Structure 1
Amino acid sequence: MRAVIQRVSEASCKINGLATGEIAVGFLVLLGIEDADTEEDASWLAQKIIGMRIFSDENGLMNKALADVNGNILLISQFTLFAQTKKGNRPSFIRAAKPEKAIPLYELMIKTLENLSGKPIFTGVFGADMKVSLINDGPVTIMMDTKNKDNH
């Protein structure tokens, strides 16, 4: 799994002009799922997201986690995080999981984040044409890949 975690002051997802998820302070998380991903990947990544201390404390240092700022999460599925661009100019998405594999793991990620945070997780709609808006606070953007756990 790959995640792009953006610290936001606000973020929203709309489909055909209708909001499916809107948050104020929190994380916009773009989540890519590949065929090799497992429930263990979802669990590890969810714990890292919830524990991520990238909100400023009283001294301006990134020391606070999501719970410390009463933040929310907007989780958006994004298979394009597994784009392969080595050959040519048209990306290949062959590593991205097919819906029958990705949807259950996406739903597991939602449930795991809800359980860990004690709050509802706002989402887009898997596979839909979504319009995502955000105000990246900082900007602060963190990329994580469960296949590179040793580097995090």
Structure 2
Amino acid sequence: MTVSESSSQTITARGSPLDGRYASRLAPLKDLFSEFGLIKHRVEIEVRWLEQLARTPQIQEVPPLTDDACAFLDHIVADFSVTDAEQVKAIESRTNHDVKAVEYFLKEAISSKPELQQISEFIHFACTSEDINNLAYAVMLDKGRNNALCR
């Protein structure tokens, strides 16, 4: 690619100067703040919420989770992939709701584990979409600040 081709791609970048002029400086943030990044963080928030419900003795309908169940949930978060995000997007195309799609994705993901399947209706329990979104964005901003901007 020549300098003029590179310059042309930068100046015609869709979006904003962040996508063009400053793209190289923001590369470490690209994946974190992508749609994939948002979906991944929504999944993490929903999983951590379910774990918190299980740690709350007053919510007797959600018993404490075994180490095996916790490890299974941790793997869902840690191993979340582009393929998983595409599944969420496919669900969203049917539900027309982004956070509800994450809920349905997780219900399907835990359906093979009887211990988790029995509490699947507590995914997203007592939450609004805003509860999930604002926490997902907060975690993303924190990671962006700590991992990319403060180096």
Give 1 or 2: higher helix fraction. Answer: 2
Give 1 or 2: higher strand fraction. Answer: 1
Where on the TM-score scale, by shorter chain, does this alignment land: which range?
A: under 0.3
State the TM-score, normalizing by the size of structure 1.
0.27
State the TM-score, normalizing by the size of structure 2.
0.27
Q: Which has the larger radius of gyration?
A: 2
Higher relative contact order (CA 8 A, sep 6+): 1
